[in-house]
Amino acid sequence: MTSSGTSTTSTSSAGTRLIAVDIDDTLNDFTSTLRRTPFPYTLQYSLPEKTFHRYLAKVRNDSPDPSDLLSTEYSLFRYKIHEECYRLAAARADAVDFMQWLKSRHWHIFICTRRDLRRAHGCTRSWLSDNGIPFDHLFSAVNKIAFCRAWGIPYLVDDDANSIAYGPGYGVSVFHPVSRQDTMADTAARAFRSFDEIKRWIQE
C-alpha cells in the first residue's frame, strides 16, 4: 500500500477502504476506569505510600510530568497505572460490533493510539484480541492527522481534541464520541452517540 498523503475518498487506488481508529476513550472506557479503580498501595510500586497517593491523584487528573527528562519516577509510575487501565478498561459493545462490521466488509483497519507501544504493545494486542476487535495494523502516533495523511487514510475515529479540531481542514473525516461535542461545537468533525451512526456516514 502506498501513501498519497492527500486522499479525501474512502477508496485507495487498489479499491481498499481505509479507516483509522483510536483505542482509549473511543473503543473503551479508559478515563472512567482510571478514575474509579481503587489501585491499592503495594510495594511493587517502589514508592513511599505518601508519594504513591500523591502521584495517583496527579495521574487521575492527567497532570503532565513537570520534568523535561524522558524518564522520571513519576512518568514510570504513570505508565504502570495506565498499563493496568489498558487491561481493565471495558470495550464498548457497539464499538466491537462496528469493528467486526468493518472487517466483514473488507475495510483495512489501522488501530492508531497515543500509547507507548514500545512498552504496551503486548497488552494492547492482547486486549484487542480478548475483546474480539479485528485490525490490520497497530501504530502509535501523537499527531493522528499527519499519520492519516501520510497513509492516505480518509476516516479517523478518535476523541483527541487536535484530531477533532484540525482533521476536517486537512481532508480527514473525523468522528468522535459525543462527550466532546460541547467543547468542539464549531468543528466540521462529526460527534456520534453510537458507532452505528458511523456506519451510515461512511457509506454516504
Structure confidence by residue, pLDDT tens digits, 91-118: 999 999 999 999 999 999 999 999 999 9
pLDDT(186) > 70: no
Distance CA 74, CA 91 (A): 28
pLDDT class of 15 with cuts at 50, 70, 90: low
CATH of domain 17-28+91-201: 3.40.50.1000
DSSP 8-class letter at 187: S
* Strand order from edge to edge, sheet including 137-140: 137-140, 107-113, 17-21, 155-157, 173-177, 190-192
| Residue showing cell 492508531 | 112
What does the pLDDT read at residue 10? 38
Residue 180 has pLDDT above 80, yes or no: no
pLDDT recorded at residue 4: 28
Residue type, 114: R
CATH 3.40.50.1000 intervals, the chain: 17-28+91-201
**Among 113, 111, 44, 53, CA closest to 80:** 44
